[in-house]
Structure 1
Amino acid sequence: MSQLAASASPAPVASARRIAGLALPALVVLAAEPLYVLVDTAVVGHLGSVPLAALAVGGTVMTLAAWLGTVMAYGTTGRSARRFGSGDRAAAVAEGVQTSWLALATGLLLAAGMQVGAGPLARALAGGGSEVAAVAAPWLRIAALGIPGLLLAAAGNGWLRGVQDTRRPLLFVLVPNLLSAVLCPVLVYPVGLGLTGSAVANAAAQTLSGLLFAGALVAERTSLRPRPEIIGRQLVLSRDLLVRGLAFQASFLSATAVAARFGAAAVGAHQIALQLWFFTALLLDALAIAAQSLVGAALGAGDAAGARDLARRVALIGGLCGIGCAVLIGAGAGVVPSWFSDDPQVRAQAAVAWPWFVAMQPLAGVVFALDGVLIGAGDVRYMRNLTIVAALGAFLPAIWTAYALDLGIGGIWAGLTLFVVARLVALLLRLRSGRWAVVGAER
């Protein structure tokens, strides 16, 4: 009862303590996966530039599955949070059951498809029948076996965030990734599997995490029967998020493809910088997770004023956190790339991307926070249109111009910065309009 009262009361909804109470556990959950990827990148990077480039190509394809998981998690969080805020916890959990069925079916289809499509995808991204593509395809086939678990974990994160349960996601994500971080270097070096060991460790962590989240649903003692009508409504809501996610993926796949055409050193450096960017993005996204849950609950309880106050607070906090990230990243410019590669050419290429990486952090902090506000409010159609316009009008033209003019990795990262700026302007305009703050258990 106290949880429901807190979610419906205007003051606690927008308080700094309330935001931190959800954001800090979410921060650990969000950081676990990219931290493992950074460990994986560091382990593989010392095998040489070709395995590192192969990991960049294969990892970029796997990022597509991760984005699908993000779509499921974000859509579920908003729907579950509105029901939780309106006082119907059982309905909030039911959203998680149906999303989990959708996640399992999608994951099995993708895992099977990757067994056939890994080779063509690797060749397309690596620029033909190169040595990098030949190494990337087997990694991708093995790593893809973890996709069903990855999507089940994403669905579980979604409904648990919606009911403001931060303890179980912390355990279910952290433990598998810690185990896999130990397993990866053991399989790669002492066991002697090389890059294959990296793929096995990836799949093992994702499968274990998915099983833990599935067990949480069973423990709720709720009906596990698939309900097509709820799944259908989730698909309608998630459609715009999916289109938005596909626009992101087209942009990042194109960026990797362009980097690969500048050579193994360039795509290896792009992998290092991009994974670090994803890592900082997810750290900053902890505020967005808190905003999704609290904004959804506030609007479900009819508290539009509390939702607007929360939006302003998380935007300010996001900008301050982005400044902190920029300071840390800038200070590590001469050291951090060497953690991931011994190749001087890779480190030199990373140094070109670094100033752009640093400069975009404060802007990205605000963008990610406001993304969470609008997703929690269910304002996904606007976000879909915004992402498509920013991708087609800024990011994609910039990176392919960089390829045409031979601007190298600096041109790619200038395009990413332009993408962030375009989204920032549009999100601030939407926040000011107030049209996103629609109250009720359904939007």
Structure 2
Amino acid sequence: MALTRSDTRGHDREIVRLAVPAFLALVAEPLFLLADAAIVGHLGTEPLAGLGVAAVVLQTAVGLCVFLAYGTTASVARRLGAGDLRGALTQGVDGVWLAVLIGVLVTVPGMLFTEQLVGLFGADAAVAGPATTYLRIAFLGTTPLLVMLASTGILRGLQDTRTPLVVAVAGNALNVALNLLLVYGAGPVEGLGLAGSAWGSVLAQVASAAALVAVVVRAARREGAGLAPDLPGIRAAAHAGVALVIRTLTLRAALLLTTYAVTLGATGPREQAVDLATHQLALTVWTFLAFALDAIAIAAQAITGRYLGAGDVAGTREVTARMVRWGVVSGVVTGLLLAAASPLLGPLFTGDAEVHDRLVAVLLIAALGQPVAGVVFVLDGVLIGAGDGTYLAWGGLATLAAYVPAVLVAVAAGGGLLAVWVTFTVVFMGARFVVLTRRARGDAWLRTGATAVR
């Protein structure tokens, strides 16, 4: 059945209502890393390269647990669509407790084996030292970050993307202020250099997590939902997230492999430091744009879960088609903006002329892939909202299987940094596009009811 103009406007209003605050919040979140990169970049190329290695490790540890946000959004939205608000909040609280448990299990070994984790990248001592310093401190922020993920997922599932926006903006502002103070010092506060950047981020993450938890606790008490740890509920939340962990693991593995390929393709300590610094800046900008495009995916998770929870298959199809169009347009816009801004971004982060030159070329490659990325992120959000984690896990493994040999061949052929980014954009993102569009055309993911069969 064709959509009427009224239907289209209704879907657009719903997408905008959820996506705009999510967009602003997601843009604010990667500013934690952008601020760190800008501040640390002026300490020198080696500290910036060290931050790049540390950031990849930390993002991988936290990124594997993104199901705490995505899975919680979908499950809470389904129960909301089915009219069970108390059950939605109870399920969300179980997710927060799971976040605390996982956070402890990641932080302790992470701090104990920091040097070994950094050593996996084969970086020169001038880069490995700063990376170890930053990462060991930054691991203290793991539990707050995971609690932020779970709490944000609850609020999104409740169709509230404004509260996470307020917390993200406030947390980012605090992060910038603390980084400037602790890195360079002021008055009686002595500058700590790279370590100060790590401490500033950790303190800002703790404050942000506390603010989000306070909102969730108030809502749970209002609806009579339990706040104490519930072991069966925590186990259920963990079990439901297994497929999304596998899906996320394949994504993080691809990013880790990309960083490793950049390290492997460099010749000599100076070349390696420049390539890693350039790659870190490009990856930070790419992540920034990925989060921006992911705003529609966040709306997709919340809307898809709610529609399927209410049994509205036709509405799910209609709003999915509309969101895909939004994804294409958003990708074109971000691609054009990135291409135009590429010569201007390097000097904001570092004074190294070699990094400036290489960064422009890498960012132009990334800009060409933005329209495809827009569709990929939207459909990923739709299938997460539908609880289609098993397919996403298998699809992620298939995508990784295609990317691994391709990027290794690119490095072996001597292509270097640019070849790695071309391979990432064409092979990795292209494979994800094929996997997701193939699934979206079928009906297997359109499961209705308060809970999704995984």
Aligned match of 2:313: 304
Residue segments in structure 1 that go unaligned for 5+ positions in a row:
1-9
CA distance in 1, matches of 2:125, 2:9: 54
Match of 1:428 among 416, 437, 450: 437
| Paired residue type of 2:255 | F
Task: Give the structure 1 partner of residue 3 of structure 2.
Answer: none
Which stretch has the larger CA shift, 212-221 or 317-326? 212-221
Instruction: List per-residue Cα deviations over 1:378-409 (Å, max 9, x = no partner).
Output: 11111111111111212x22222232222111
Write the mapping of 1:182-331 to structure 2, written as runs, cut at 5 A.
182-190=177-185, 191-220=190-219, 221=221, 222-261=225-264, 262=266, 263-331=272-340
Aligned to 1:43: 39
Q: Distance in 2 between matches of 1:378 and 1:12?
A: 25
Structure 2 distance, partners of 1:60, 1:195, is 16
List 4+ stretches of structure 1 deviating above 3 A. 10-14
Distance 2:98 2:10 in 1: 33
What are the equivalent positions in structure 2 for 1:356-367 lying under 5 Å apart? 356-367=365-376
User: 1:57 aligns to what?
Assistant: 53
Give the CA deviation at 1:228.
Answer: 2.2
1:378 and 2:390 are equivalent in the alignment: no
Question: Cα deviations across residues 306-349 of structure 1 (Å, max 9, x unaligned)?
Answer: 01111111111001000000110011121112211111121222
Partner of 1:337: 346
Map Cα deviations across residues 180-238 of structure 1 (whole Å, 9 max, x no partner): 11211222123421111110111111111111122223212131122222222222221
Q: Which amino acid aligns with 1:232?
A: R
Report if aligned partners of 2:70, 2:384 keep a CA contact under 8 Å in 1: yes
In structure 2, relative to structure 1, the CA distance for the partners of 1:129 and 1:325 (3 Å cut) is: closer
Counterpart residue type for residue 248 of structure 1: L
Residues 398 and 411, structure 1, Cα contact 8 Å, conserved in 2: no
Task: Indicate which of 404, 408, 411 corresponds to 2:416.
Answer: 408
Structure-2 separation of matches of 1:372 and 1:80? 15
Matched-pair identity in %? 38
Report SS of the residue matched to 1:436: coil
TM-score of the aligned structures, taking structure 1 as reference length:
0.94
- Alignment match, 2:77: 81
Shift of 1:12: 8.9
**Which of 130, 134, 141 lines up with 1:135 in the alignment?**
130
The Cα shift of 1:11 comes to 5.1
CA distance in 2: counterparts of 1:235 and 1:426, whole angstroms: 25
Structure 1 residue 14 displacement after superposition: 6.0
- Structure 2 distance, partners of 1:235, 1:296, is 19
Cα distance in 2, alignment partners of residues 13 and 372 from structure 1: 21
Question: What is the total number of aligned residue pairs between the two structures?
Answer: 432
CA distance in 2, matches of 1:14, 1:314: 12
**Shift in Å, 1:354:** 2.1
Alpha carbons 1:12, 1:18 under 8 Å: kept: no
- State the Cα distance separating 1:272 from its structure 2 match: 0.5
Separation (CA, whole Å) in 1 of partners of 2:123 and 2:161 = 45
Q: Look up the match of 2:28.
A: 32
Unaligned runs of 5+ in 2: 1-5, 267-271
Question: What secondary structure does 1:440 align onto?
Answer: coil
Partner residue of 1:158? 153
Say which SS state the counterpart of residue 334 (structure 1) adopts.
helix
Q: 1:14 to 1:111 in 2, by over 3 A?
A: farther
Does the 8 Å contact 2:62/2:146 carry over to 1? yes
User: Aligned equivalents of 1:225 and 1:186: distance in 2?
Assistant: 38
Change (3 A) 1:14 1:295: farther
